[in-house]
Structures are given as C-alpha cells and as structure tokens.
Amino acid sequence: MKILKQVVAIFFITVLLFACNKSSDGPAPADPASIAGVWTGKYGNDNSSPNIFFSLHFKAGGVIEELDQSGAVIGTGTWKVENNIITGTYKWPSQTKFNIIGTYNSQLKKILGNWGYGNSNTDGGLYELAKN
C-alpha cells in the first residue's frame, strides 16, 4: 500500500511538472493576486477521493489559513505560487504541521493537488478547491 501511494505521488508530481511547461498557447501563469481569497472544497486521506470539507484562505503577503466549516481559523502558515504551482505549509495550534502542493487550473478555476504531514507534500492524500 505504501509503495502504491509513492507511485501515485510520483505520477502526480510528474504530471504537475509536465502540465506546467510554458507554452505560448496555454493559459497565462497565475499571479498571487488571482489566488488570494477563500477557497473551499474537499480533501481525501491516502488514496481516497476527496470527500471531507477543506477550506484555505490564501492571504496577501504569503499568509495561509485553514478554515473550518464555520469560517473560523484552525491553522496558519505561509504560501507561494510559481508557474501555477502553489505550495504552502501551515500548523494547527497543536503544532501538527501540514504541507500542500497543487496546480491552479485557470480554465476550471480550481486548485488540484496533494497534501501531507510534517515535511511531506504527498503522504496525506489529494485535495481540490474552488474559489468562493
């Protein structure tokens, strides 16, 4: 099961890298201003499809907040976007650390990616978010 998770993670990262190659006929790269705001969607654990509430507030200046369903902040950290690849790290008050990596699809207006615990971007599962 662990090997399958690693293979899926490597495949997803490879797709991210090739999908983000610069092309003159592709969409323009996202700038931080287009990402800033509250995004809501779902996440999944391990290889499960995203099915659990998930919301992130990407704030100006590289601040990220995880929000619960009522909109209360339950985690804080930092984020950045480069070539449509969004990365971030944040902690809950218990000091549990999470990382995210994902791509912004301007046509779908969604962020699709992986999340992980500690220093990993991929050992948690998948997530998808749409801007509110």
Percent of the chain whose predicted confidence (pLDDT) is above 90: 67
Mean pLDDT of 39-51: 96
* Domains and their CATH numbers in the chain: 2-22+31-131 (2.40.128.120)
> pLDDT per residue over 81-113, tens digit each?
998 899 999 999 999 999 999 998 888 889 999
Mean pLDDT of 5-11: 49
Contacts of 110 (CB under 8 A, 6+ apart): 41, 104, 128, 129, 130
pLDDT the model gives residue 106: 81
The whole-angstrom separation of Cα 79 and Cα 72 is: 19
Element (H, E) at 121: none
Residues 118 and 107 sit within 8 Å (Cβ to Cβ): no
Look at the alpha carbons of 85, 91, 92, 95 in this order and tell me if their dihedral is positive or negative.
Answer: positive
pLDDT the model gives residue 63: 98
Q: Is residue 12 scored above 80 in pLDDT?
A: no
Q: Is residue 49 scored above 60 in pLDDT?
A: yes
Q: Is residue 23 scored above 70 in pLDDT?
A: no
Q: Is residue 42 scored above 50 in pLDDT?
A: yes
Mean pLDDT of 108-129: 95
The whole-angstrom separation of Cα 97 and Cα 60 is: 21
pLDDT the model gives residue 69: 98
